[in-house]
Amino acid sequence: MSAHQFDYAMGPFAKLVICFDYSKGSPGCHTRPNGDPGWPPEPEEVEITDVQVWALNSLSGAWVHTGVSLPEEVTDGDWIEEKAWEYIERQREEADVLRAEREPDWSAA
């Protein structure tokens, strides 16, 4: 598992800081090369660990933690998990772009 964190704007003066763990999962294996049984696949998982409320300080212009973490009854909502999956997908897309930029273009040779 790996820990992640991202901001979710709740208007110009408030945001949620969403913290979660992500597990990539594994494809599993039906049968090992020696004929022994393999293991089942494990799905990708996202587990929300904390959702904090931050506010914009009108005097300094800095974001400050309000000291409030949303209760588990709220953080178990599907919309927060959907935002975490969207974050993971954006990270994948950015990694694909960076990988494509590093790979040589053999078609021009």
- Is 19 part of any domain? yes
- Parent domain of 12: 2-25+43-104
Under 8 Å between Cβ of 77 and 61? no
In single-letter form, the type of residue at position 4 comes to H
Q: Taking the model in full, what pTM does it have?
A: 0.75
Under 8 Å between Cβ of 84 and 20? yes
- Is 56 part of any domain? yes
What pLDDT, on a 0 to 100 scale, did the predictor assign at position 91?
A: 92
Q: How far apart are CA 42 and CA 91, in angstroms?
A: 21
pLDDT band at 108 (very low <50, low <70, confident <90, very high): low
- Is 36 part of any domain? no
Given a cut of 80, whether residue 52 has pLDDT beyond it is: yes
